[in-house]
Chain A
Amino acid sequence: MLTLLKKTIKTGWLNFIRNSAISIATCFIIGMTIFLITSLLIMKDVADYLINVIQEKVDISIYLKDTVAEEEILVLKDEIAKIPEVKEVQYVSRAEALDRFVERYKNNPVVIESLAEVGNPLLPALNVKAWQANQYDAVVSFLENSPSKDLIDKVDYHERKPVIDRISAMTATFNALGIIMSLVLAIVAILVAFNQVRLAIYNAREEIAIQRLVGASNWFIRGPFLAQGAISGVFAAVGAALIFSIAIFILSPKLTVLFSGLSISGVFLSKFWLLFFIQLLVGIGLGVVSSIIAMKKHLEV
């Protein structure tokens, strides 16, 4: 069995070398497909990061009555933190709110002077961040049904709702578009690669017919072609990984500026082995599966 496998791989390798023009073309096309699929995988990470950055900027503030004691506020904070949809709760006391206000308007003497006259008009607040922009409804509904609702002066959710809804809709659209585009591109690339392998096997159709006529079984004929397909896939994957790595390291500094500080090379390096495994799998899979499908017709002799 091992000898047969060795012979099959050796014959596949010889066929690969002896049909070098077709082999190079096949490697190139499969390599392009792998390159595109890798780009789509990286872009998925980039899109997730960018959506996350936008969502990070969304939060709601729960303003509490100025009579509420800090202990009660901290109890409410703990209760809110326990809601599954809540990612983070931050308590801003009246003094902290004033400091932030002063810091923000320090260059505006009119505001600062008015503030000196009225004292601290600001209320203590809990700033709440949800995991997703569309989860704020759940937070607000919890507060409305909570026994602590009497502590609350107002929640600015309803003022921010249009913006939150727009961000929610936008991220959902981006996600759906990303999935559809990735699928379409991946299918097109796979079809192009399959067609290339089909052409290579079409070129060998007479050879396959002769092998059948001199008594070779279908699997004996298929073996070297599958090995050849797998070899093409390995070369394509290694080539694509190499070119992708070089491209990432050259473009990474420029892309980092473009993608709000996301280090593309960092994402690539952190997932290098997983990506390389996927690249090999796609390469070998495309080579082998396309060969099996493309050979079927020619084995009818």
Chain B
Amino acid sequence: MLKFQNTTKIYDKNHIGSIAKVALDNVSFEVNKKEFVSVVGKSGAGKTTLLKLLLAEEKPTKGRVFFDGQDVHKIAKPSIFHLRRRIGTVFQDYKLLPTKTAYENIAYVLEVMGYEDEEISRDVPEVLKIVGLSDKSHSFPAEMSGGEKQRVVIARALIHRPDVIFADEPTGNLDPYHTSEILKLLLNINNFGTIIILATHNKEIVNNLKRRVITLENGKLIRDEEKGRFVL
């Protein structure tokens, strides 16, 4: 379903006076349907770059990235939204629309996909309840804590039942109770066939999951294990 093939990403390569930073160095791996994969590594190891390349937000310097057999960087920019609708993303920096409430941020994804108003008003409160934010539905991002924003982002990523959920540090700002709830939710979604890619620093979470673990170090893939552990 997902394939990174000899993918290299170097930033600022052409900027005079700046030092080129290798974010990904010849990384290759595949993720199949129904898999739950943790991607681990220190800050700057290249986890977020994987997401940017998958969403075609950035172009690889070398190599290719495939989604469902299609090279994502060969898709024309105006048509890229078809791909992005199939990927639910939990961004590390939230990327919530500042002028929309929690409800509207989540509803936006459904509006984009052409859902009817009745479906939106049925599904959004349901998802808000699942992430424990029913009472915050009319709050704007600026009025919410980091943990609350993170839960809105999670709700937005899963509401349209995408093929893949890429969660970049989804529990970074959550307390242990909400961390455990969100993980349960992700596992549940995975049981229904959605691919989950979880990029995290959290050793405990990865070790408890006992699922596939890909380890990145300085942009290189150094380990890819079925039922792996967090080892750095």
Residues of A within 8 A of B (CB): 3, 7, 14-15, 18-19, 207, 210-218, 220, 300-301
Whether A214 contacts B112 by the Cβ 8 Å rule is yes
Number of A-B contacts (CB under 8 A): 50
Residues of chain B within 8 A (CB-CB) of A212 are 80-81, 84
A12 shortest CB reach to chain B, Å? 12
Q: How far is the CA of A7 from the CA of B112 in the complex (A)?
A: 11
Query: In the complex, which residue of chain A has the Cβ closest to the Cβ of B83?
Result: A215
Chain B residues with CB under 8 Å of chain A are 55, 57, 77-78, 80-82, 84-85, 89, 91, 95-99, 108-109, 111-113, 117, 156
Minimal beta-carbon separation of A2 from chain B (angstroms): 13
State how many angstroms separate the Cβ of A22 from the closest Cβ of chain B: 11
Q: Are A220 and B99 in contact (CB under 8 A)?
A: no
- Do the beta carbons of B99 and A207 come within 8 Å of each other? yes
A14 to B113, CA, bound (A): 20
State which of A3, A14, A210, A216 has its C-beta within 8 Å of the C-beta of B81. Answer: A216
Residues of A within 8 A of B113 (CB): 215
**A7–B111 CB distance below 8 A:** yes
A217-B77 in contact (CB<8A): no
Task: Please indicate the chain B residues that have their CB under 8 angstroms from the CB of A210 in the complex.
Answer: 95-97
Partner of A211, one of B85, B91, B97: B97
The CA of A217 and the CA of B79, in the complex, are separated in Å by 7
Residue in B77, B85, B96, B99 whose beta carbon sits within 8 Å of that of A215 in the complex: B85
Q: Quick one: closest B residue to A220, CB to CB?
A: B112
Contact B89 A207 (CB under 8 A): no
Supply 19 A–B pairs (Cβ within 8 Å), ascending by A: A7-B111, A15-B99, A18-B99, A207-B97, A210-B97, A211-B97, A211-B108, A212-B80, A212-B84, A213-B57, A214-B84, A214-B95, A214-B112, A215-B84, A215-B112, A217-B78, A218-B81, A220-B112, A300-B77
| Chain A residues near B108 (CB-CB < 8 A) | 211, 214, 216
